[in-house]
């Protein structure tokens, strides 16, 4: 597996990471614990060194799973986790909570669940409008000075917020949604990250599975699957967006690759400091995703993808209105 550095921080990780959320949270019933451990360890065996989790996934159970799975190889991997949601008894009903005292409490609890003495990359999961970002960055800076955290990250943050945080404690990585069917970061986010030397970690790089071509108009999602509530996954939207999948399939066939591999290779080709973190509960999908790191897209391939997709409008919002209220704009 090729390696990449997240911006100017010096943090080196595998070119493709592994988003662990789906093993415990968000897409229906949690995976069997032993199966989840086996899959995470299979990813390590195949060269993945970058694993993404969060306290809110479960909540808490995903960190437990990741900690147990990676304990035998802790010195060989980078673990990213997150704070910022109100999921503990101390949050007093706050949906978001990035008060400094809460950040510290989350860090201490995450260290225990992850069975480690340091969090490699600690993201603010969502920007808390009630807490100045300078206070957030300052608390993480203190945790770094204490040796409990190595690097600071933000998620779904605006350029203004990124700049303010970066002035207090250098931001190593921004994690936000980015894929062939959600390209908003290209307008302002990517230029700012390039200027500041910050890496970019796209989540949902396969469009929550849609870009694999495995989700048809008639597909049904399990109870508890967040896609049941996302407008982009309504039956009408899926029907309209099938044109994107058909086009992606033609490009993939011409390259002797899969749709998922083209979608991931496209992201890797955008910038050398972009590291996508696709998730899966299946070994064959893990192997397929990692194969994208060996797929080279020439400038002519990228131009063809650009021209093809530019002619296909994507239907449906990526989040519900409630979820969008938690995105820093």
Residues annotated as catalytic are 57
The number of CA neighbours under 13 Å toward the Cβ of 295 is 27
- Angle of helix 235-255 versus helix 259-270 axis, rounded to 10: 80
Three-class DSSP category at 204: coil
288 in Cβ contact with 263 (< 8 Å): no
Could you give the dihedral angle defined by the CA atoms of residues 44, 59, 150 and 182, in that order, rounded to the nearest 10 degrees?
A: 80
Question: Distance (Å, rounded) from C-alpha 217 to C-alpha 60?
Answer: 33
237 in Cβ contact with 227 (< 8 Å): no
Q: Which residue is listed with tokens 């086009």?
A: 247
Greatest CA separation for the chain = 55
Three-class DSSP category at 121: strand
Question: Distance (Å, rounded) from C-alpha 121 to C-alpha 119?
Answer: 6
184 in Cβ contact with 255 (< 8 Å): no
Q: Which residue is listed with tokens 């972009």?
A: 274
317 in Cβ contact with 237 (< 8 Å): no
Question: Distance (Å, rounded) from C-alpha 287 to C-alpha 205?
Answer: 16
Per-residue CA distances from 68 to 41, 74, 205, 286 (Å): 10, 10, 26, 20
Nearest to 123 by CA among 91, 155, 145: 155
227 in Cβ contact with 210 (< 8 Å): no
**Cα 142 to the chain's mean position, in Å?**
25
């Amino acid at each position: 597996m090729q390696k990449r550095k997240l911006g100017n921080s010096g943090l080196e990780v595998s070119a493709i990471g592994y988003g662990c959320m789906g093993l415990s949270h968000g897409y229906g019933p949690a995976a069997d614990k032993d199966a989840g451990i086996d899959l995470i360890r299979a990813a390590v065996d195949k060269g993945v060194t970058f694993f993404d989790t969060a306290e809110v996934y479960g909540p808490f159970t995903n960190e437990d799973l990741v900690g147990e799975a990676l304990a035998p190889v802790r010195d060989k991997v980078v673990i990213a986790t997150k704070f910022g949601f109100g999921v503990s008894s101390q949050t007093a009903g706050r949906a978001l909570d990035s008060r400094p005292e809460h950040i510290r409490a989350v860090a201490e609890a995450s260290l225990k669940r992850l069975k480690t003495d340091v969090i490699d990359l600690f993201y603010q999961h969502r920007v808390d409008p009630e807490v100045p970002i300078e206070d957030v960055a300052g608390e993480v800076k203190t945790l770094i000075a204490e040796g409990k955290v190595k690097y600071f990250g933000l998620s779904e943050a605006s350029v203004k917020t990124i700049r303010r945080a970066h002035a207090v404690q250098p931001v190593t990585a921004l994690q936000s949604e980015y894929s062939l069917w959600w390209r908003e970061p290209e307008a302002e986010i990517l230029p700012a990250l390039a200027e500041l030397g910050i890496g970019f970690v796209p989540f949902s790089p396969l469009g929550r599975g849609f870009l694999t071509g495995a989700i048809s108009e008639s597909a049904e999602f399990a109870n508890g699957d967040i896609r049941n509530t996302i407008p982009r996954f309504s039956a009408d939207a899926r029907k309209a967006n099938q044109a994107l999948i058909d086009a992606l399939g033609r490009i993939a066939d011409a390259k002797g690759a899969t749709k998922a591999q083209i979608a991931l290779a496209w992201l890797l080709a955008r910038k050398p400091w972009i590291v996508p973190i696709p998730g899966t509960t299946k070994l064959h999908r893990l192997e397929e995703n990692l194969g994208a790191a060996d797929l080279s897209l020439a400038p002519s391939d990228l131009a063809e993808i650009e021209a093809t997709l530019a002619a296909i409008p994507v239907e449906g919002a990526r989040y519900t209105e409630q979820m969008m209220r938690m995105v820093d704009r």
